[in-house]
Amino acid sequence: MTGVKTVGLLGGGVIGAGWAARAAINGHDVVICDLDPEAERKIGEVMVNARRAYSRMTLAPLGELGSIRVVRTIEEAAAAADFLQESLPEQEELKIALLGRADRAARPDVIIGSSTSGLLPTKLQSGMTHPERFVVGHPFNPVYLMPLVEICGGAKTSADAKERAATFYRSVGMRPLLVRKEIDGFIADRLMEALWREALWLVHDDVATAAEIDDAIRFGPGLRWAFMGTFLIYRIAGGEAGMRHFMAQFGPALKWPWTKLMDVPDLDGALLDKIVAQSDFQAGNSSIRDLERLRDDCLVSVLQGLRGRDFAAGSVLRAFEEKLYERDASAMVNADHKVSGPLRLHTAKVEPRWVDYNGHMTESAYLQVFGDTSDALFRYIGIDAAYRASGLNYYTVETHIMHLREVREGEPLHATTQILAADEKRIHLFHELYRTRDEMKLATAEQMQLHVNTAESRACPARANVLDQVMRIAEKHRRLPRPENAGRQISMPTTGT
């Protein structure tokens, strides 16, 4: 759907404000009808959250933001719209009446979508003069981030309207899912409702608390649901024999009396054949091993993303890593023979996400590796989670990187560290990065690290146990040759005229 400049919105609550933010971030002007005297403030605060989220989600330029204007009548919002989305309270009679008013005010070519989470579109379009242009476009909160929008038409909805709506939703970064048959709750809400019913019974029967039920999802199947749905996950669980084997093994469990949801379809030959055929189509040419690797890669990405927030399964990963780091550091801390030369404390492999369009490791990835190398040194000298929690740490205050060679995805790397100088507050470091298979030097990084009290935002001496380690290494490294590129500065030779 092209030519949408202004998006009209009916209702500025949680969902309506989310639509406003998504539309404005995509450069559309928004005219939103809401009678709440605090509407401008509330929508503005949602917009702030949305811009904050997008700035963290993508580095792509977002372009100029669209404007957001709050009006007080359905007709004013509808008349200005090139696309209209309703997000009013889930009251069928109210929606029918107000959608009828919007239909009479909007141009006949304007698609009208509803954010309803379960009301049938045939009923909602019943008061319209142009019901053929009405669709359900059911989003998920937060609308400005969640990509899914379920599209469902009523008895009088045209195929063209559904396609035009899908085109618009795609243009603002969403993933339309066409609901084949009109049904209460559509697809996603029916699945969530089934889980919700079981969860309520588990609380009712004192099997688990609300927090324990949420933990069962967020530390378990919820992680996989982020990238693979139920059918593809179960296909993998069937092993090389695939979905048919899984259904034969676990299908009978659906009749066991341990669930409150006893009404399940009979797994007769026709249904089994349908499921297997659809699963085969979904998997395409991917083998079980291919799917397993894809699952693992996606799961690692999710866990790493959560680790950055130190939340949910990410906190488990971070705690596990801390144990590994501490074990490694304790094994090396008294190994004086390793200090006879530059310390080799960090290894890595060029990850797919580190590679640019030329197939080489990006500039930011070099900085990441050298930062990880400094972190490895800090662990080696005794800076652990408890030390950081006390408000003390080393911060990088200056870095100079020299790029010497390119390196491609999958290549093993290792880095060495030499302490050029140190005192009670500073460490002058020189890192060298190598391609491990042939010891090819790829880059160097010279850094100045400053020990700080993070709570007071000022430099301070390192604690005695850490400072002793720093000075012990610095004394041994003082006998090493100074690296050739240490102290370099960026300059261009000038020629006389």
Residue 223: CATH number of its domain? 1.10.1040.10
Residues of the chain falling short of pLDDT 50: 336-337
End-to-end CA distance of the chain: 62
Q: What is the pLDDT of residue 461?
A: 97
User: Is the peptide bond between 142 and the residue preceding it cis, with omega within 30 degrees of 0?
Assistant: yes
From the list 242, 259, 57, 41, the residue with the least C-alpha distance to 147 is 57
Q: Quick one: 14 and 32 in the same domain? A: yes
Q: Quick one: 157 and 208 in the same domain? A: no
Q: Quick one: 50 and 175 in the same domain? A: yes
Q: Quick one: 169 and 199 in the same domain? A: no
Residue pair 295/228 in contact (Cβ under 8 Å)? The answer is yes
309 found inside a domain = no
Residue pair 165/154 in contact (Cβ under 8 Å)? The answer is no
Q: Quick one: 277 and 201 in the same domain? A: yes
pLDDT digits (tens, 9 = 90+) for 371-422: 999 999 999 999 988 899 999 999 999 999 999 999 998 899 999 999 999 9
pLDDT digits (tens, 9 = 90+) for 133-157: 999 999 999 999 999 999 999 999 9
Angle between helices 313-332 and 288-309 (to 10 degrees): 80
What's the CA gap between 301 and 308, in Å, rounded?
11
Residue pair 289/240 in contact (Cβ under 8 Å)? The answer is no
273 found inside a domain = yes
218 found inside a domain = yes
Report the DSSP beta bridge partners of residue 450: 395, 426
Q: What is the pLDDT of residue 337?
A: 45
Q: Quick one: 194 and 96 in the same domain? A: no
235 found inside a domain = yes
Which residues lie closer than 8 Å to 155 by C-beta, 6 or more apart? 122, 182
Among residues 167, 186, 205, the one where a domain terminates is 186
Q: What is the pLDDT of residue 329?
A: 64
Q: Quick one: 143 and 233 in the same domain? A: no
What's the CA gap between 156 and 164, in Å, rounded?
15
The total domain count for the chain is 3
Q: Quick one: 439 and 379 in the same domain? A: yes
Q: What is the pLDDT of residue 358?
A: 84
Read off the pTM: 0.76
Q: What domain range is 140 assigned to?
A: 6-186
Q: How far is CA 188 from the centre of its chain?
A: 20
- Please provide residue 488's backbone torsions phi and psi, each rounded to the nearest 5 degrees: -65, 155
Indicate the Cα dihedral angle 93, 94, 100, 103, nearest 10°.
-140
Q: Quick one: 393 and 278 in the same domain? A: no
Q: Quick one: 362 and 452 in the same domain? A: yes
Among residues 140, 167, 186, the one where a domain terminates is 186
The pair of three-digit structure tokens given for residue 16, joined into one six-digit string: 């309506």
Angle at 447 between CA 444 and CA 450, to 5 degrees: 165
Q: What is the pLDDT of residue 22?
A: 97
What's the CA gap between 493 and 215, in Å, rounded?
62
Q: Quick one: 243 and 211 in the same domain? A: yes
Q: Quick one: 208 and 275 in the same domain? A: yes
- Please provide residue 258's backbone torsions phi and psi, each rounded to the nearest 5 degrees: -105, 0
Q: What is the pLDDT of residue 328?
A: 67
pLDDT digits (tens, 9 = 90+) for 224-275: 999 998 999 988 888 888 898 888 887 777 777 667 776 778 888 898 899 9
